Structure 1
């Protein structure tokens, strides 16, 4: 896998991005769960979450030979989970005197627009954001005639679909019994930070992020 060939996980936050990143580590990929520097993009073979879910079109243009995986999740489970996350993030997204880095702010305010507390607390709004994002991803890659793997990591058989998509189906003779790990349970979002693995790639350098001008 060269620098212009990556695996991008396009699913929205709280669809299982940490779980699939953990799985990709076990498949011997260098993995970044979020990427905010050019160094991260250069080092990682697989990247998920921010800014991928928002910048997939630019990433496809910059890394044309890449593989894209879209994570789906049952709306009744996703909506309360994403609501909890967005409410926790809200102040640091909207504040103009610091808070999250500009890439996080841009991605979340574009996908969940208008990014207001009223909207975050509105289940219909969140579902509309989910459906709009999935439809936009589907339409874009259909127009590009570029294959995308759509999977729900909670569904039986989707681990095997991932292995086949990545041409890794012979990596383990017992793969029929394998499934994705269930991480970040109960609204927690620290599983990736706590995970130790030699192939894990840092998202930032010394806490700083670049502007990623080539994909923005």
Structure 2
């Protein structure tokens, strides 16, 4: 385990990774694991159905769950979804937030490759995040959407014809997050670029962690 130095772990403040999926979220989780933090990643989300609870608006069920209470760092679903970051900021005013961005076109390539040309994860939740509701409703008129919120179904195509739509959402949402924290609490948000070779050292500096110059992590690479 890498040596800790005056980290936020001692205060147990919550840390939320707000980066869109396919923007290094799993690597962020591994970074904090390497520094001895308790991290809730994708497995925790699945086991506690946090995304379904957020979608239904039952946020206190998330915040009072044992998995949420025992962990300090949170990445992947549902933290990046829609405007959840605003709720998290007001619910946990001492929390810290992380936003990594990357080239929007490379991000879209990773999205399209992840599930072999299909939408990622649960399609009903996906279309809400990426504004494809009408297309979904027209194609799946009689489906019980809410009954299957926890199901990974990959129902819609995700291909080159969607590039402009997705990349515009990606750029806009990243700007919205940055603008929000610049207004309410600039010191609460770390912003980094996934392409930056010194990103982990800079992230460590934000959390008062001493990160070796040769430290690197790249988890959950896209299989092409």
> Structures share a fold, TM > 0.5?
yes
Superposed displacement of residue 89, structure 1: 4.1
Root-mean-square deviation (Å):
2.5
Once residues 177 and 164 of structure 2 are traced to their aligned partners in structure 1, the CA distance between those partners, rounded to angstroms, is 20
1:111 aligned onto 2:151: no
Once residues 90 and 66 of structure 1 are traced to their aligned partners in structure 2, the CA distance between those partners, rounded to angstroms, is 28
Aligned 8 A contact 1:84 1:187 in 2: yes
Once residues 208 and 195 of structure 2 are traced to their aligned partners in structure 1, the CA distance between those partners, rounded to angstroms, is 21
Give the total of aligned pairs.
Answer: 171
Q: 1:69 aligns to what SS in structure 2?
A: strand
Once residues 26 and 126 of structure 1 are traced to their aligned partners in structure 2, the CA distance between those partners, rounded to angstroms, is 32
Structure 2 gaps of 5+ residues are: 1-8, 51-61, 136-155
Once residues 72 and 7 of structure 1 are traced to their aligned partners in structure 2, the CA distance between those partners, rounded to angstroms, is 17
Q: 1:151 aligns to what SS in structure 2?
A: strand
Larger Rg belongs to: 2
- Report matched runs for 1:34-113 at 5 Å: 34=42, 35=45, 36=50, 37=62, 38-54=65-81, 55-85=84-114, 87-89=117-119, 92-94=122-124, 105=125, 108-113=126-131
TM-score w.r.t. structure 2 length?
Answer: 0.67
Q: 1:150 aligns to what SS in structure 2?
A: strand
Once residues 119 and 66 of structure 2 are traced to their aligned partners in structure 1, the CA distance between those partners, rounded to angstroms, is 26
Once residues 165 and 21 of structure 2 are traced to their aligned partners in structure 1, the CA distance between those partners, rounded to angstroms, is 16
Q: Which has the higher contact order (CA 8 A, sep 6+)?
A: 1
Aligned 8 A contact 1:111 1:133 in 2: no
Correspondent of 2:221 among 175, 185, 210: 185
